[in-house]
Structure 1
Amino acid sequence: MVTQLASYNDLLTHLSLIEAEYDAAHQALTASEAKNKVLATQITSLMAHTPSPNHPETLSTSPQPELTYASQVAKPAPLTGPPGPRHTTINTCNPPTNGHLVTATHAFQLPTGPQGYEYIIIPQGHKMSCTEACHSLHVLGIDTAHILDIIFPAHNHTALLVYQQYSPTLCATLKSAKVTPIEDFEFWDPKHLADPKFDNESDATKYAITMEIHHDHCIYLLIFLSANHPHIATAIGYFFAEQGWISTSDIPPSCTNPSKCSHLTNGDSDQDSMDNHMQE
């Protein structure tokens, strides 16, 4: 009997310990639930004030205007440069070169110094295209924006058409590169005609042929300039006439109406054929 009572006492003690542990666990669970409710409330409040990137409509609670074609057309275009009657986009990726700045500055200054044009003749080591010649000149430090024309009027000769104001700078740059310009060059000299098919012709005939070739080149250049640089085409045409290479009546009417020769802006075959007669 005594043994049974002792066992009951042990069981009661053990149950009391279990009950105490249960009460402690229940209190901890209740506290955790209360804390979770507070956190859930805070999260809900935070999400209500944060726009969702996947739901653009949450960016603003104000009513949005109806999206129509008229409303989109009425929107002003964003400005990328100074306003004006002929607004253009400012190119910040390719800033203007010094040559472009000088040209733009001269456009708003009164003319000073010598006016007009001239051909500078330089030696040529081997046959080349205009593109190759232009690249080589650029490597020598010459601003090719000032070169208006490149032709090959004779074997081992290159002619550069430039403004007279740029001529001293060009000659100085050439001499610093040990390239000596050729003086007293005559475009119409029959000895420049190197095409073998003219070998049996008389000097008078060769002279007439060289005159015709140079005349045709002048006309071709004027047509090309009329389509690409009409502001100088007429002036160069009168320069050619003053040299006796063409007459004023030969100046193409397209010099005053560039749209008439827009189809010639990419043609180099005619020029190549004329140069080939002189560079064979």
Structure 2
Amino acid sequence: TNPVGSMASSWANTVQKPRPINTVTNPRRQAANARNFQPVLGPQGFEYLYLTRARRMDRPEIRRSLRRLGLDSARILDVSFPARAVVGLLMHVQYIPVAKEILAKHKVVPIASFDPQDPAHLGDPKYADLSDTEKVALITNLHRTHCERTLRFLRPTVALPLTRAFFEAGWISEQ
């Protein structure tokens, strides 16, 4: 046999073969690739869509349930739990009407006006003795920390515009 690593070995010949280019992709990936070459139309930015939840669920379970309802879970950038019995879904503003329409078919009604920085959402009893200003500072800090953590786990192409959206909303500082 030929020594491993020499040009005559079967391993070296296999590595040298060109890999076929996968031109067949699923429709969702084709639509995402096409958006790269289309002009930017409509509103830009990101928002959270808040839903009530009847029980404790983790992020994969929420994504799985939403996928079964017909939502494209790849369009949901973040799943957060800003308060007890509330789940926040971070999406592009152009996908929110589509998501609301899909959810309405299944009688899921989003929470109309939810403020994640409302001190009333502090559920831990150890914060009950804090003053109102301390509670506001604490919940603001918790929300800012969550936003910063979200930005760390996203692709840079998404994280940069999302950073701008969080900054404009006043959720993160310029630093």
Structure-2 change in CA distance of 1:176 and 1:75 (3 Å): closer
**Counterpart pick for 2:6 among 61, 64, 69:** 69
Distance 1:175 1:76, change over 3 A: closer
Distance 1:71 1:161, change over 3 A: same
Q: Which has the higher contact order (CA 8 A, sep 6+)?
A: 2
In the alignment, which residue of structure 2 is the partner of 1:240? 166
Instruction: Provide the rounded CA distance (Å) in 1 between the counterparts of 2:127 and 2:46.
Output: 31
- Residue-by-residue CA offset, 1:135-163 (whole Å, 9 max, x unaligned): 11111111101000000111111111001
CA distance in 1, matches of 2:120, 2:34: 43
Q: Deviations over 1:32-76 (max 9, x none)?
A: xxxxxxxxxxxxxxxxxxxxxxxxxxxxxxxxxxxx924555888
Query: Where do 1:94-109 residues align within 5 Å?
Result: 96-109=25-38
Q: Which runs of 5+ in 1 are unaligned?
A: 1-67, 83-89, 250-280
Q: Mapping of 1:1-280 within 5 angstroms?
A: 69-71=6-8, 77-82=16-21, 90=22, 96-225=25-154, 229-249=155-175
In the alignment, the residues of structure 1 paired with residue 14 and residue 80 of structure 2 have an alpha-carbon distance, to the nearest angstrom, of 52
In the alignment of these two chains, the number of paired residues is 169
**TM-score for both structures, normalised by structure 2:** 0.88
Q: Which runs of 4+ in 1 moved over 6 A?
A: none
Flag the 1:75–1:236 CA change in 2: closer, same or farther, 3 A. closer
Deviates more, 1:202-211 or 1:138-147: 202-211
Give identity over the alignment, percent.
34
C-alpha distance in 2 between matches for 1:75 and 1:170: 47
Q: Is the 8 A contact 1:188 1:207 kept in 2?
A: yes
Deviations along 1:214-257, one digit per CA (max 9) or x if unpaired, are: 000011111122xxx111111111111000011121xxxxxxxx
Alignment RMSD (CA, Å): 2.1
Deviation at 1:181, TM superposition (A): 0.9
| TM superposition shift of 1:190 | 0.7
CA displacement at 1:167 relative to structure 2: 0.9
Report SS of the residue matched to 1:248: coil
SS at match of 2:94: coil
* Structure of greater Rg: 1
CA offset at residue 100 of structure 1?
A: 2.1
**Whole-Å Cα distance in 1 between the matches of residues 126 and 103 of structure 2?**
35
Measure, in 2, the Cα distance between the counterparts of 1:81 and 1:159.
41
**Matches of 1:98 and 1:163 in 2, distance apart?**
19
AA aligned to 2:162 is I
How far apart, CA to CA, are the structure 1 residues paired with 2:87 and 2:14? 56
Specify the code of the residue in structure 2 equivalent to 1:103. Answer: A
Q: Distance in 2 between matches of 1:246 and 1:233?
A: 13
User: Would you say the 8 A contact 1:122–1:180 is kept in 2?
Assistant: yes
User: Which structure shows the bigger proportion of residues in helix conformation?
Assistant: 1
Distance 1:97 1:75, change over 3 A: closer
